[in-house]
Structure 1
Amino acid sequence: MTELEKGPQGRRRGRGARERILGASLQLFRDQGIHRTGMDQLCEVAQVSKRTAYQHFTTKDELVAEYLRRFDPDVMPGVFDRADLTPRERLLAAFEVPAAGSGDTPPMCPYIAAAVEIHDPDHPASRYARDYKRAVAVRFAGAAREAGATDPEGLGEQLALLLDGAAARTRVLDADAFPTAAAIAAVLVDAAIPRPAGDDAGPRADDPDRTAR
């Protein structure tokens, strides 16, 4: 590293600084909250000067909004863009998250956490959190429509609400609520998708567990 790539006290600056700042925000905002994270600490972790930080993000509010955008810009593509799953399987795959049995308290959904911490509805992070949550319901509705649901928008809202509830309950109780949420989701999905004529009993054709029943 050349001297031109170093800032005060030998800290790196310039090249890659923006990504280091966002990486530090990802760690600190989730671990200790937005309000408890000051710019001095964030700059220390990112190894940049405050001047460099404010060259990339003119305000902390701007940084918070970008931090949220970086979490999941395509809205759960690992679930809803999977071509190897049927539409019904994609609806249920949203509830397949790693168990919280590591002993560490699972982090709260960053969008919910930001909305709780930031009381100003016009704050850019608050607006983005609302947009993201609406987008999740839209993604659910799209998969529900492909699966043949009679009311895809209604099912999308139900599943989005259930997903948020599971995340919040997991956080508060430090126990994995997603298996229970997945079971409820399966009931909602199957009730919303009409069976083909003459198929009034037995598991659905796209049910991966049908052979085990």
Structure 2
Amino acid sequence: MTESEKGPRGLRRGRGARERIVSASQRLFREQGINCTGMDQLCAVAAVSKRTLYQHFGGKDELVAECLRRFDPEILPEVFDRTDLTPRERLLAAFEAHAPLCPFIAAAVEIPDPAHPARVYARDYKIAFAARLTDTAREAGAADPEQLGEQLALLLDGASARGRVLDTEAFTTAAAIATVLVDNAVPAPDSR
């Protein structure tokens, strides 16, 4: 490899740049927010030039949307795709795997434009997440699966926002409330 094939820090140009950009963006957006992360800082952390960044992404809007797309593309498969848990147990397990919820709420809060690609993706994700809860509630035998799915989605989002603002473990309280909701909506396993 000649010196002209290397970037300013001795890294080979082009190879893995897109992944470095996304990885750096995810970390910086999580640590300091979307609006506080500048493109110069992002390029420095990802070890790419602005030209390289813009070759991979049309702008910050596209990059934010890509970060969200990659965060949880299958909508919590570690919960909803588990075959070792009953549907009732999967509903409650969603409260143990809460990390994927924060970036979507943060993006929606930081980006006021409802047509922004990241806001659209966050909205679509939240709708799909509630639908997965509703489908699981239906599998569990809930009398009104749509209502239970929406209640649990609202509870998860509320716990996520509260935990982010107050830096508390709101999910412990939310899990206790979810247990009451599920117990009231889903017949006990031995009564079926």
TM-score tier after normalising by the smaller chain length: over 0.9
2:130 aligned with 1:137: yes
- CA separation in 2, counterparts of 1:42 and 1:6? 19
TM-score by length of 1: 0.84
Equivalent position of 1:190 in the other structure: 183
SS in 2 for 1:122: coil
**Bigger fraction of residues in helix:** 2
Conservation of the 8 A alpha-carbon contact between 2:114 and 2:120: yes
Cα 1:189–1:5 shift into 2, 3 Å: farther
Residue identity (%): 73
- CA separation in 1, counterparts of 2:129 and 2:45? 32
Deviates further, 65-74 or 10-19 = 10-19
Equivalent position of 1:112 in the other structure: 105
Equivalent position of 1:89 in the other structure: 89
- CA separation in 2, counterparts of 1:114 and 1:93? 24
Larger radius of gyration: 1
Stretches of structure 1 that go unaligned for 5 or more consecutive residues are: 99-105, 200-204, 206-213
2:166 aligned with 1:160: no
Stretches of structure 2 that go unaligned for 5 or more consecutive residues are: none
2:44 aligned with 1:44: yes
Cα 1:23–1:159 shift into 2, 3 Å: same
Deviation per CA, 1:17-36: give whole Å up to 9, x if none. 10000000011011111111
Deviation per CA, 1:54-108: give whole Å up to 9, x if none. 110011110010011111011111110111100000000011148xxxxxxx998
Aligned length: 192
